[in-house]
Structure 1
Amino acid sequence: MQKIWTNSGDSHFLEPDDLWTTRLPKALADLTPKSEKDPDGEYETVSVDGQTFRRKLPTSAAVEFLAETRKAVGIRDAKARLIDLDEEGVWGEVIFPSLGMWSSTFRTPELLKACMRASNEWALEELVPVSERYVVTAQVSTLLVEDAISEIEWAAENGFKAVFLPTTPHPSAPDWHDPAWEPFWDAAERARMVLAVHIGTDPVDVTSGGAGVVYRGPGGAVMNYAETTFSGQRFAMKLVASGALDRHPDLRVLISEGGATWIPFLGDRMLEGYRQHSMVVRPKLKRDPKETLMTQVYASFQHDETAVAAHDAMGYKNVMFGSDYPHMEGTFGHTQDTLKQLFDGASDATRLRITQGAFFELFPHVPAVPSSGV
Structure 2
Amino acid sequence: MTQLTQAAPGEELPEFLRDPEPREVHYTVISVDDHLVEPPDMFEGREPARFAGRFPRIMELEPGKTYSRAQSGLPPMAVSTPGRQAWDFDGNLFLQVGLNAVAGYTSFETLSDEPTSFAEMRPGCYDIDARVRDMDIGGIWASLNFPSSITGFAGAVFSRTTDVDLGQAVMRAWNDWMYEEWHGRHPTRVIPMGITWLADPEVGAAEVRRNAARGFTALSFPELPHRLGYPPVHSEHWAPLFRACEETGTALCLHVGSSGMLDLPPDGPRFEKNTTLFPALSLLSAVEWLWSGVPVRYPELSIVLSEGGIGWVPMLLDRLDFMLAHAGSLSDFAQWTHGTPPSEVLRDHFYFCTLDDPSTLAVAVEKLGADRIMVEMDYPHTDSTWPDTQPLLRQRFGENPSLDVEAIRAITHGNAARVFRHPLPPRPLP
- What TM bracket, shorter-length normalisation? 0.7 to 0.9
How big is each residue's C-alpha offset from its partner over 1:226-266, in whole Å with a ceiling of 9 and x where there is no partner?
33444433333233212111122211111111101222322
**Paired residue total:** 364
Instruction: Give the letter for the 2:417 counterpart.
Output: F
SS at structure 2 position matched to 1:343 = helix
Gaps of 5+ in 1: 204-210
State the match for 1:15 in structure 2: 38
1:338 aligned to which of 388, 392, 405: 392
Give the Cα–Cα distance (whole angstroms) in 1 for the partners of residues 214 and 277 of structure 2: 35
Is 2:113 aligned against 1:61?
A: no
TM-score, length basis structure 1: 0.83
How big is each residue's C-alpha offset from its partner over 1:195-240, in whole Å with a ceiling of 9 and x where there is no partner?
111111115xxxxxxx888344445332121334444333332332
Does structure 2 retain, via aligned residues, the 8 Å contact 1:13–1:96? yes
Distance 1:266 1:37, change over 3 A: farther
Is 2:180 aligned against 1:125?
A: yes
1:357 aligned to which of 414, 424, 428: 414
Does structure 2 retain, via aligned residues, the 8 Å contact 1:263–1:316? no
1:83 aligned to which of 126, 133, 145: 133
Give the Cα–Cα distance (whole angstroms) in 2 for the partners of residues 69 and 247 of structure 1: 48
Distance 1:176 1:17, change over 3 A: farther
Structure of higher CA gyration radius: 2
Q: Tell me by how many angstroms 1:101 deviates.
A: 3.0
Does structure 2 retain, via aligned residues, the 8 Å contact 1:92–1:366? no
Does structure 1 retain, via aligned residues, the 8 Å contact 2:24–2:390? no
Does structure 2 retain, via aligned residues, the 8 Å contact 1:260–1:310? no
- What's the C-alpha RMSD, in Å, of the aligned pairs? 3.6
Gaps of 5+ in 2: 1-22, 80-97, 99-107
SS at structure 1 position matched to 2:209 = helix
SS at structure 2 position matched to 1:320 = strand
Q: Tell me by how many angstroms 1:48 deviates.
A: 4.9
State the match for 1:114 in structure 2: 169
How big is each residue's C-alpha offset from its partner over 1:273-322, in whole Å with a ceiling of 9 and x where there is no partner?
45514443343524222111122211112122135224444243212110
% of aligned pairs identical? Answer: 24
Q: Tell me by how many angstroms 1:33 deviates.
A: 8.6
State the match for 1:207 in structure 2: none
Give the Cα–Cα distance (whole angstroms) in 2 for the partners of residues 35 and 278 of structure 1: 59
Does structure 1 retain, via aligned residues, the 8 Å contact 2:51–2:166? no
How big is each residue's C-alpha offset from its partner over 1:139-159, in whole Å with a ceiling of 9 and x where there is no partner?
111122112111111111121
1:300 aligned to which of 330, 347, 353: 353
Structure 1 residues 219-230: aligned runs within 5 Å:
219-230=269-280
Q: Tell me by how many angstroms 1:126 deviates.
A: 0.4
Is 2:249 aligned against 1:195?
A: no
Structure 1 residues 184-263: aligned runs within 5 Å:
184-203=241-260, 214-263=264-313
State the match for 2:95 in structure 1: none
SS at structure 1 position matched to 2:33 = strand
TM-score, length basis structure 2: 0.73
State the match for 2:63 in structure 1: 39
Task: Tell me whether 142-151 or 109-118 shows the greater mean CA deviation.
Answer: 109-118
SS at structure 2 position matched to 1:90 = coil
Give the Cα–Cα distance (whole angstroms) in 2 for the partners of residues 336 and 52 of structure 1: 36
